[in-house]
Amino acid sequence: MKKTTLRFLIAFSLLICCRTFAQSGTLDPSFGVGGKVSNYVGEYPVTFDTALQADGKIVVVGNTQGNAPGSSFLVNRYLGNGNMDANFGTAGSVSTLAGHHCVANAVAIQNDGKIVVAGTSFPTTTTTDIMVARYNSDGTPDTSFSGNGVQVLNIAGTQSINTVLIQNSGKIVVGGLFGQPTNPNADTFGLARFNTDGSPDITFGSDGLVYTPNMPRGEILDMKAMGNGDIVAVGRRLIINRYYMVKYTADGEVITSFGPNGNGIVEVVLGQIAQLNRCVVAADDKIYAAGATFNGQKYNAFITKYNANGTIDNGFGSNGLILRDFGINTLGLSESSFAKDIAIDNNQNLIVGYSVGAPTDYDFGLESYTLYGVLNTGFGQNGLFRTTFGEGHDYFSCMLIQPDNKIVMAGNRDLQVLARVLNNGNLAVADTGNTITQILASPNPFSQDENLKLQINKSGTLAVELIDIDGRILAPLIAKKQIQSGSTQELDLSGLTLSKGMYFLKVTLDDETNVVKLLKK
């Protein structure tokens, strides 16, 4: 009976992995042309954010002409095949102007399908206001929002809005850089909240606004809601080499117990310049953030992980940090990288999106990691997906995960450009229905002189056996060892002579068994 069960698990694992491994981390040919879309809308369209509607349509926002006079909020909507949605606005596009020019940096979809877009209006070339627009599902202005669908809030000082979230109450929170009224040059993390009718919510912070203390020159670049409604915001300190992370209550009060300093602020020096561009909150309220740091010669992307209380998770990467140096390209040029977005997919893998390349030729890039920080080498080419839309810079900006786990990336190259990437699972992850929900073996594929590393997200008594494709046990690699969740186990393959081909790890934790497929190269 045990042998029959083992053969079933091997067959099941083989079936799942063979279907998905070859495709994961490649362009989706059913999207646009060969997986890519290039769209000319406006004189110099810029893309900043994207969101997915419940019906699978893709909303992408930015502005029409950079910072030129008359540059407007730009809202485009795409069908699932990459075509513009002719039933939205004019041929799939909507533009909204307030002031001299305006910039749409963020988008969120309400539960009723209405589209909320947030950014900054420039009444003149040197002054700024907070701007929020809401659209009906067909792209027309929602006149129940501030009377005409647009709220422009003029307050003292300078504001630059970069992010938006919709709370469970339906209220809208925007975040960015706020110049403090008492000292306009002392920019800080700033938040504002609006009621569902577009009016400022004076119950939030102080008269509807939050100016975060103790962080001069701070700018929020992204924020997300925690499970209990608290808000975590990430960003940078302008000019100075550090990144910031802050947590607030749902009503805008800084939670001073967050982080190590007793003021609710995580402040980290990393290289000569550092910033966190985006963040994502996992189901267990762990916080993952992605950004870039400058080492004096080039920018390198990085990923970091924090606990819900603001302490760094030292079990992730190297002391809570993964620094991505992509080295030298085939032309001998040093490649910079910027982690511009981060998300958790439906398989509970961490997806990180990059602009990566030589100084004159950035590409779109993607990687997939486990939530413990181990690179999924079965994704793309040796763990990296990369694509270009032609010579010169392709500036990746943002991404989203579809319900089918496909990844839509969006950015700019004098055009609005999108790519969709297949993400059907990972060769190194096996799930046969037991409660060991994630097992990762790396490197995979492996060579004879490499020891395998195994991560499991559960504590217990572990046993690991190496099995060939016929179900024969070749070696016991671990025999009843007590492990802790998230620990890394090294599997010694020395002394074994393995031909190229397929093998399996039978992984038993207490009374649960999973099988992980391996490839020997």
User: What integer pLDDT is reported at residue 21 of this predicted model?
Assistant: 40
Give the other-Cβ count within 10 Å of 148's Cβ. Answer: 12
Here the tokens at position 370 are: 């486990």
Q: Has domain 36-421 been given CATH number 2.120.10.30? A: yes
How close are the terminal C-alpha atoms of the chain, in Å?
32
- Give per-residue pLDDT as tens, 351-372: 999 999 998 899 999 999 988 8
Smallest CA-to-CA distance from 379 within 28, 31, 26, 16 is with 26
* Residues found in the chain: 521
Give the other-Cβ count within 10 Å of 56's Cβ. Answer: 12
Q: What average pLDDT does range 92-106 have in this prediction?
A: 94
- Are 464 and 504 within 8 A, CB to CB? no
pLDDT at 254 over 50: yes
User: What integer pLDDT is reported at residue 321 of this predicted model?
Assistant: 95
pLDDT above 70 covers a percentage of the chain that reads 90
pLDDT at 424 over 70: yes
- Give per-residue pLDDT as tens, 227-241: 999 999 999 998 777
CA 274 from chain centre, in angstroms, equals 17
- Give per-residue pLDDT as tens, 287-327: 999 999 999 999 999 999 999 999 999 888 888 999 999 98
Burial-class residue 457 by CB neighbours within 10 Å (0-12, 13-18, 19+): middle
User: What integer pLDDT is reported at residue 425 of this predicted model?
Assistant: 57
Q: What average pLDDT does range 467-481 have in this prediction?
A: 78
Smallest CA-to-CA distance from 325 within 360, 362, 293, 288 is with 293
Q: Omega of the bond prior to 45 within 30 degrees of 0, cis? A: no
Q: What average pLDDT does range 187-206 have in this prediction?
A: 97
Give the other-Cβ count within 10 Å of 213's Cβ. Answer: 13
What is the C-alpha to C-alpha distance for residues 97 and 298, in angstroms, rounded to an integer? 37
* Coil, strand or helix at 11: helix
Q: Which residues contact 97 (CB under 8 A, 6 or more apart)?
A: 70, 71, 72, 73
- How sure is the predictor about 433, in pLDDT bands with cuts at 50, 70 and 90? very low
| Domain range annotation of the chain | 2-20+429-520, 36-421
Q: What region does 16 belong to: left with phi over 0, alpha with psi -120 to 50, or beta?
A: alpha
- Are 423 and 25 within 8 A, CB to CB? yes
Distances (CA, A) of 312 to 129, 148, 258, 352: 35, 45, 11, 19
Give the chain's mean pLDDT.
Answer: 88
User: Could you please report the per-residue DSSP string of 287-299?
Assistant: EEEEEEEE-SS-E
User: What integer pLDDT is reported at residue 471 of this predicted model?
Assistant: 60
Q: Amino acid identity of 435?
A: T
State the fold for domain 2-20+429-520.
Answer: Immunoglobulin-like (2.60.40)
Smallest CA-to-CA distance from 393 within 466, 462, 335, 443 is with 335
Burial-class residue 513 by CB neighbours within 10 Å (0-12, 13-18, 19+): middle
Smallest CA-to-CA distance from 173 within 206, 207, 149, 208 is with 208
Q: What average pLDDT does range 140-164 have in this prediction?
A: 96
User: What integer pLDDT is reported at residue 440 of this predicted model?
Assistant: 67
* Coil, strand or helix at 213: coil
User: What integer pLDDT is reported at residue 71 of this predicted model?
Assistant: 86
Here the tokens at position 356 are: 């990566």
Q: List 502's β-bridge partners, or say none.
A: 519
What is the C-alpha to C-alpha distance for residues 96 and 109, in angstroms, rounded to an integer? 18
